[in-house]
Structure 1
Amino acid sequence: MKDNSVTGRLWSAMQDVGVSKAELARAANVTPQAAGKWFKTNSISRESLDACAKRLGVSIKWLINGEGDKFPENVVSISKKKHDQSSNVDSFIELDPWDSKTPLNDDEVEVPFYMEVELSAGIGSTIQLETSGPKLRFSKSSLRKHGIDYNAAACVKVSGNSMEPVIPDGATVGIDTANTTIKDGDMYAIDWAGALFVKTLTRRPGGGLRIRSFNMDEYPDENLSPEEAQQVRVIGRVFWYSVLR
């Protein structure tokens, strides 16, 4: 059943645009825990709602009462129009019909999709041979605008439920392998003691590391000591994800 509450519409917009709770929390200047309570209690302040509407590029009138268009006239969805946000490239992806025989235009690049590498969002999986299969297409200018070298970009499939409901089992993520410097609260693909994961990372005093899942009820925070943190290798920052399966 469709959720017609304010937070239900907020969640719907997050899925359309591809923005996580952590990103919304930063936009609203609240903690991720506070953002999580919006959906558990179906309660959010007008100030936070305004910030969320601005971050998502949706109509505040639609968010509040469901009236009017979800996206203003200058913001469009997956038809062959453009949507340009000045924040993260994972906010939106421009899609046009194509297949493997469609030639690349001057502004397109094919990013390898590693079919035999699964980044676990659960209990972990053994690293398998990195054999590339199909490719996904991205705009060079969009990647360049957000500081991503397309030669360092790759896409992989996520398995497990630890990052649900934001990134469900079977979703695809784009990784910037040239960006391995941890920015607190951002999402990364990591090799942790021989297993691959997608998690949000936060540095701790003294060189420790906090590894966090969105599904915190089943997967509580892992607070690693400086020695334990040495076992974590950052593969790259997650710059995009898709829940289409």
Structure 2
Amino acid sequence: MKKTKSCGARFKMVLEELDITTTGFADVLNISRAQNVHNWYTRGVPHYRMEDIARRLSVNSEWLKTGEGPKHAKALHLVDDSGNTFDAQSIRGTYRVIEPIDVELPFYKETAITPGSDKTHVIKDPSESIRLPRSNLDSLEIIHADAICARMVGNSMAEKIADGSIVAIDRGLTQIVDGEIYAIEHDGMLRIKYLSRVPGNAIRMRSHNSAEYPDEVFRPAQIEAENIRVLGWVFWWSTLSKRRPPVPFL
């Protein structure tokens, strides 16, 4: 088993930089004894494992072996069946997506400022997110970091956006374009409405379900007093059927 002893120090340095223990790396390699990996610090990485170890640590194998050439292997990427491009580094068997075909949008929701309080605000919910195709955002010229999602509450936008639907919001577009749908924070309440400008710097909020929810017009003084702010343009929404249809003749 040929080994390159001089690479042991470099191997140790890379693990320490990435905060990977020898036990953790042994798990990645399916090696039952972590001591075997720890021994590589002094004995060097086995020659037959050199390319695989370098790939998993995203370093050039020649650098790991001899110390010559560039350290980092920026071109070491893997592509899965769905088209996602991954970093070649693997820690405990989990690859990190660096060029996904999807974009993960953080989830925002209306929640009480304090438990039991009637006062609410719109904040990020770290427990939820949703993925949308990167190509969809790119086609609308949406900066990925500006995109968030939220949930439609109520039937004011029925039959356009059903109660419970998830909506995607572009925070980069807060300027009102008449007749477009926007997410608004209204004194801590999350609302989804058509917006239009009204002379005198006022705004009109319109519901799709206008029979039950008449138009609302807010003058500048009201906008300030009621803490109305446009969160962004709603560019996508989901709608889930309320029930599964019964199958006849069963």
TM-score using structure 1 length: 0.51
1:242 and 1:233, CA in 2 relative to 1: closer, same or farther beyond 3 A? Answer: same
Encode CA deviations 1:182-237: one digit per residue, 9 max, x unaligned: 10000111112232201110000110111100111111000222322334200111
Asked whether 1:146 is paired with 2:140, we answer yes
In structure 2, the residue matched to 1:180 is 174
CA contact (8 A) 2:107 2:124 kept: no
1:46-85 equivalences under 5 Å are none
Encode CA deviations 1:69-100: one digit per residue, 9 max, x unaligned: xxxxxxxxxxxxxxxxxxxxxxxxxxx8xxxx
In structure 1, the residue matched to 2:200 is 206
Runs of 4+ residues deviating >4 angstroms? 101-105
Asked whether 1:193 is paired with 2:197, we answer no
Percent identity, aligned pairs only, is 39
Question: What is the rounded CA distance, in whole Å, between the counterparts of 1:243 and 1:103 in structure 2?
Answer: 31
Higher-Rg member (1/2): 2
* Number of residue-to-residue matches in the alignment: 141
In structure 1, the residue matched to 2:125 is 131
RMSD across aligned positions (CA): 2.7
Question: What is the rounded CA distance, in whole Å, between the counterparts of 1:202 and 1:192 in structure 2?
Answer: 16
Question: Which consecutive residues of structure 1, in runs of 5 or more, have no partner in the other structure?
Answer: 1-95, 119-123
CA contact (8 A) 1:186 1:237 kept: yes
Encode CA deviations 1:38-77: one digit per residue, 9 max, x unaligned: xxxxxxxxxxxxxxxxxxxxxxxxxxxxxxxxxxxxxxxx
TM-score using structure 2 length: 0.50
Question: Which consecutive residues of structure 2, in runs of 5 or more, have no partner in the other structure?
Answer: 1-81, 83-93, 112-117, 242-250
In structure 1, the residue matched to 2:69 is none
Asked whether 1:237 is paired with 2:241, we answer no
Higher share of residues assigned strand:
2
Q: Which has the higher contact order (CA 8 A, sep 6+)?
A: 1
1:198 and 1:125, CA in 2 relative to 1: closer, same or farther beyond 3 A? Answer: farther
Question: What is the rounded CA distance, in whole Å, between the counterparts of 1:182 and 1:102 in structure 2?
Answer: 41
